[in-house]
C-alpha cells in the first residue's frame, strides 16, 4: 500500500519545474524512495533531476538510485523489492531495447501481481509513430507496454506528472494488483511548466458482498471436509487464513506463491502432493487469491465439490468454472467478515491434528525416499536461515523440491516466480529482495543455467554492497531439460550440457565472497559465514550430479470428474 503519511500535498500553489523534477517529487510523495535503473540519453534529464534532488530543490530528499548492468537486472530487482516489502517499487530504462531487455521481468511482475512501476524513455514526442529511425525507436512502444501491464500512460507536460504518478500507483493496487508503466519522451523530461503536487489517490476496495459472505459461511460451516487453498493473494491475510483453518479444522494448501501464509509448523499446512489427496476428498474449498491452476486444470472438479473463490480480480472466479460463491476484493477484509459470520453456522467438528500429523509423516517418507539429495540441501538452508530470513526460489531441481517441502514460517519469506516459472529470474530478483530488506538474511538458490542469466549483476551487488547469499547448484547442465530428454526422448541429448566458468573464481573476481562445498553439512558452515558477511554478496557453489525427478509430486492425475 502507498504510504498514507504522504497524503498531504493537495492545495499547494503551482511551482515551475521540469517534468523530470515533478516526477521525482511525485515518486517521493508516494513513498518510492529507491529507483532501480540503467541510464541512457533518453532519460538524461530525469537522471539529472535525481542527481540534483535534495535540499534547496523542489524535492525534499534524494531518491536512492541502484544501477544495474542489464535492464533485466533493474526490473527484476524492482520486482524483488516490491514482493518483499508489499510496497510499490520503480525501475527506469531507455526505450526500445531497454524496455525489451526488461520485458521478462515486467511479465513476471504481472504474473506475480507485483506493484512494479516501469519508467520508460521514448523518442522525441513529435516523432513517435512515424518510423523515422530515431535511436531506440520501436513500433508502437505504448502498445507493447499496454500488453504487459494493465495501466500505462505517457507524461507529455510537467503539470501531468504528479497526477499520472498518483494514478499509476493507485492502478497498481486496484483490482488485481500488478505493474504499471509511464513513458516520457526524450524532449519531455526537461520541459518546464507550472506543477501542483498531487496527493496519493485513495485505493477503494469494492464493498464486501454480505450475501456472498452469508452463503460462504453457510457452506463452510456445514462442510465435512473443507480445504483452503492459499495463493499469492493471501499473503497479506495470513492471520485470517490461520484463524479460518483453526475454526474449520481445514488444511491449507499452498504451492509457490502462497507458501508461508500458514506457518508450515502447523500440521494443517500442506503442499501439492498432500493437497492432491485432500482435494479428492473435499466437499467445500475456500480458494483465496489463487488461480487454482493445478486443482482445476489437473485434478478436476465435480458436482459434489463446492468452490468458494476470494479474488481481487472480478473476472478470475468464473474464468474456468463458475464457483458456488465468489467474493471479489482484498482477501483480508473479506476473510475478516467471513470469520465474523462463520461461528453462527459452524457445525461441530473434531480436531484433525493427529490425522494430519500422521498423513504428513507418511508423505514426508515418500518425499525422503525419492528426493533425498534435494531435501538434505534444503534442510541445511532451513537450519541456518533465521525464521524471518527470506528464501528466493528458482527454476532448478532444489527449487522444485523447495516448493513442496521447504518449511516456511511467515508471509513474504518465500519468494517464488509463480506461473511464469521463468528461468533466470532468481538471482536478480533476490538482489532486489535483499536490497529492500537489508535487515534480514536473504538466500537465493539457482542452477548453473539460471544463475548465468543475470550473473553479471554480481557487479551490482558488490557496488551497492548488497549482502545477498546465492547458492549455485552446479550440475553442468540445463538439468531439468536433460533429464526429460533422457527419460522421455530416448536419451537423445540436445542443447542441454553447459560449459561453465569456475563459479568461485568468477564471483571472487567481482569482489564477492565465494566458497565451494561438497556436502549439506559443509553448506551449513558456508551459509553461517555468508550470513555474517553483511558488506557485500556471497556465492556458494555446490557441485551436484544428476538429481532425482520431482515431477511425480507436481503433475498428478485427475481425481475428480473422471
Q: Which of residues 181-240 bind ligand TPP (CB under 6 A)?
A: none
Residue 533 DSSP symbol: -
Other Cβ atoms closer than 10 A to 492: 7
Report the partner that residue 470 touches, choosing among Mg ion, ligand TPP, none (CB closer than 5 to 8 A by kind).
Answer: none
One of 264, 475, 513, 541 touching Mg ion (CB under 5 A): 475
One of 149, 423, 430, 554 touching ligand TPP (CB under 6 A): 423
Cα–Cα distance between 53 and 59 in angstroms, integer? 6
Would you count residue 447 as binding Mg ion (CB under 5 A)?
A: yes
Cα–Cα distance between 209 and 314 in angstroms, integer? 12
- Is residue 498 exposed (0-12), middle (13-18) or buried (19+ Cβ within 10 Å)? middle
Rounded (10°) CA dihedral 506, 507, 509, 515: -100
Minimum distance, C-beta of residue 67 to ligand TPP, in the bound complex (Å): 24
Size of the site for Mg ion (CB under 5 A): 6
SS (H, E, C) 255-302: CCCCCCCCCCCCCCEECHHHHHHHHHHCCEEEEECCCCHHHHHHHCCC
Size of the site for ligand TPP (CB under 6 A): 18
Rounded (10°) CA dihedral 464, 470, 476, 481: -100
Would you count residue 426 as binding Mg ion (CB under 5 A)?
A: no
Minimum distance, C-beta of residue 393 to Mg ion, in the bound complex (Å): 15
Would you count residue 541 as binding Mg ion (CB under 5 A)?
A: no
Other Cβ atoms closer than 10 A to 4: 12
Would you count residue 448 as binding ligand TPP (CB under 6 A)?
A: yes
Minimum distance, C-beta of residue 395 to ligand TPP, in the bound complex (Å): 5
Stretch that binds ligand TPP, among 143-151, 298-306, 411-419, 477-485 (CB under 6 A): 477-485
One of 447, 467, 537, 550 touching ligand TPP (CB under 6 A): 447
Q: What are the distances in angstroms from CA 540 to CA 465, 472, 487, 503?
A: 17, 6, 30, 8
Half-sphere exposure at residue 45, Cβ-oriented, CA atoms within 13 angstroms: 20
Minimum distance, C-beta of residue 421 to Mg ion, in the bound complex (Å): 15
Q: Which is nearer to ligand TPP, 31 or 450 (CB)?
A: 450
Would you count residue 479 as binding ligand TPP (CB under 6 A)?
A: yes
Q: Are the C-beta atoms of 168 and 151 separated by less than 8 Å? A: yes
Stretch that binds ligand TPP, among 26-34, 51-59, 269-277, 445-453 (CB under 6 A): 445-453
Q: Which is nearer to ligand TPP, 307 or 539 (CB)?
A: 539
Would you count residue 448 as binding Mg ion (CB under 5 A)?
A: yes
Cα–Cα distance between 179 and 151 in angstroms, integer? 8
Place of cell 516448493: 403
**In the structure grid, which three cell numbers stand for residue 346, read together?**
459452524
Q: Are the C-beta atoms of 452 and 539 separated by less than 8 Å? A: no
One of 141, 174, 434, 480 touching ligand TPP (CB under 6 A): 480
Stretch that binds Mg ion, among 259-267, 302-310, 360-368, 442-450 (CB under 5 A): 442-450
Q: Which is nearer to ligand TPP, 238 or 446 (CB)?
A: 446
Stretch that binds Mg ion, among 24-32, 463-471, 476-484, 523-531 (CB under 5 A): 476-484
Residue closest to Mg ion (Cβ): 447
Please give the helix or strand (H or E) that residue 71 lies within, else none.
helix 71-85
Would you count residue 397 as binding ligand TPP (CB under 6 A)?
A: yes
Cα–Cα distance between 408 and 135 in angstroms, integer? 47
Cα–Cα distance between 157 and 431 in angstroms, integer? 34
List the x/- string, 479-518, binding to Mg ion by CB under 5 A: x---------------------------------------
- Where does this chain bind ligand TPP (CB under 6 A)? 395-397, 421-424, 447-450, 473, 475, 477-481
Q: Enumerate binding residues for Mg ion (CB under 5 A).
A: 447-449, 475, 477, 479
Amino acid at each position: 500500500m502507498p504510504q498514507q503519511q504522504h497524503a498531504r500535498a493537495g492545495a499547494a500553489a503551482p511551482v515551475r519545474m521540469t517534468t523530470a523534477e515533478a516526477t521525482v517529487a511525485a515518486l517521493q510523495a508516494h513513498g518510492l524512495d529507491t529507483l532501480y535503473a540503467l541510464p541512457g540519453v533518453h532519460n538524461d534529464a530525469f537522471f539529472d533531476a535525481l542527481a540534483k534532488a535534495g535540499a534547496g530543490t523542489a524535492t525534499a530528499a534524494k531518491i536512492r538510485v541502484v544501477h544495474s548492468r542489464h535492464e533485466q537486472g533493474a526490473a527484476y530487482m524492482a520486482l524483488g523489492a516490491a514482493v518483499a516489502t508489499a510496497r510499490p517499487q520503480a525501475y527506469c530504462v531507455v526505450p526500445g531495447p531497454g524496455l525489451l531487455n526488461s520485458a521478462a521481468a515486467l511479465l513476471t511482475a504481472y504474473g506475480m501481481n507485483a506493484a512494479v512501476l516501469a519508467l520508460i524513455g521514448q523518442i522525441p514526442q513529435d516523432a513517435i509513430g512515424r518510423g523515422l529511425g530515431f535511436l531506440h525507436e520501436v513500433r508502437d512502444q505504448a502498445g507493447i507496454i499496454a500488453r504487459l501491464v494493465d495501466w500505462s500512460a505517457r507524461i507529455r507536460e510537467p503539470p501531468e506528472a504528479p497526477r499520472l504518478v498518483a494514478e499509476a500507483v493507485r492502478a497498481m493496487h486496484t483490482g488485481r494488483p500488478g505493474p504499471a508503466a509511464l513513458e516520457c519522451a526524450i524532449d519531455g523530461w526537461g520541459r518546464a511548466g507550472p506543477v501542483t503536487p498531487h496527493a496519493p489517490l485513495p485505493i477503494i476496495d469494492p464493498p464486501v458482498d454480505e450475501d456472498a459472505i452469508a452463503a460462504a459461511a453457510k457452506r463452510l460451516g456445514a462442510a465435512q471436509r473443507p480445504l483452503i487453498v492459499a495463493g499469492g493473494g493471501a499473503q497479506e491475510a495470513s492471520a485470517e487464513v490461520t484463524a479460518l483453518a483453526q475454526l474449520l479444522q481445514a488444511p491449507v494448501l499452498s504451492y509457490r506463491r502462497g507458501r508461508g501464509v500458514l506457518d508450515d509448523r502447523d500440521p494443517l499446512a500442506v503442499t501439492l502432493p498432500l493437497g492432491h489427496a485432500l482435494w479428492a476428498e473435499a466437499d467445500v474449498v475456500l480458494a483465496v487469491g489463487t488461480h487454482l491452476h493445478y486443482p482445476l486444470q489437473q485434478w478436476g472438479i465435480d458436482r459434489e465439490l463446492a468452490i468458494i473463490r476470494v479474488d481481487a480480480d472480478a473476472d478470475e472466479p468464473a474464468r474456468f468454472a463458475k464457483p458456488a460463491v465468489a467474493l471479489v476484493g482484498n482477501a483480508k477484509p473479506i476473510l475478516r467478515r467471513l470469520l465474523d459470520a462463520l461461528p453462527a453456522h459452524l457445525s461441530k467438528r473434531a480436531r484433525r491434528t493427529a490425522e494430519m500429523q500422521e498423513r504428513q509423516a507418511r508423505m514426508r517418507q515418500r518425499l525422503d525416499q525419492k528426493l533425498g539429495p534435494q531435501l538434505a540441501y534444503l534442510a541445511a538452508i532451513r537450519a541456518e536461515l533465521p525464521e524471518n530470513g527470506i528464501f528466493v526460489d528458482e527454476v532448478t531441481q532444489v527449487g522444485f523440491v523447495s516448493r513442496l517441502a521447504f518449511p516456511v514460517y511467515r508471509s513474504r519469506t518465500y519468494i517464488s516466480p509463480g506461473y511464469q516459472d521463468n528461468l533466470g529470474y532468481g538471482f536478480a530478483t533476490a538482489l532486489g529482495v535483499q536490497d529492500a530488506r537489508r535487515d534480514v538474511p536473504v538466500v537465493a538458490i539457482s542452477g548453473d543455467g539460471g544463475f548465468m542469466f543475470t550473473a553479471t549483476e554480481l557487479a551490482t551487488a558488490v557496488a551497492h554492497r548488497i549482502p545477498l547469499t546465492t547458492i549455485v547448484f552446479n550440475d553442468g547442465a540445463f538439468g531439468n531439460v536433460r533429464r526429460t530428454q533422457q527419460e522421455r526422448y530416448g536419451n537423445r541429448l540436445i542443447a542441454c550440457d553447459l560449459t561453465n566458468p569456475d563459479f568461485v573464481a568468477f564471483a571472487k573476481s567481482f569482489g564477492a565472497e565465494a566458497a565451494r562445498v561438497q556436502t549439506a553439512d559443509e553448506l551449513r558452515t558456508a551459509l553461517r559465514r555468508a550470513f555474517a558477511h553483511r558488506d557485500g554478496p556471497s556465492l556458494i557453489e555446490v557441485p551436484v550430479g544428476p538429481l532425482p525427478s520431482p515431477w511425480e509430486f507436481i503433475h498428478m492425475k485427475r481425481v475428480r470428474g473422471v
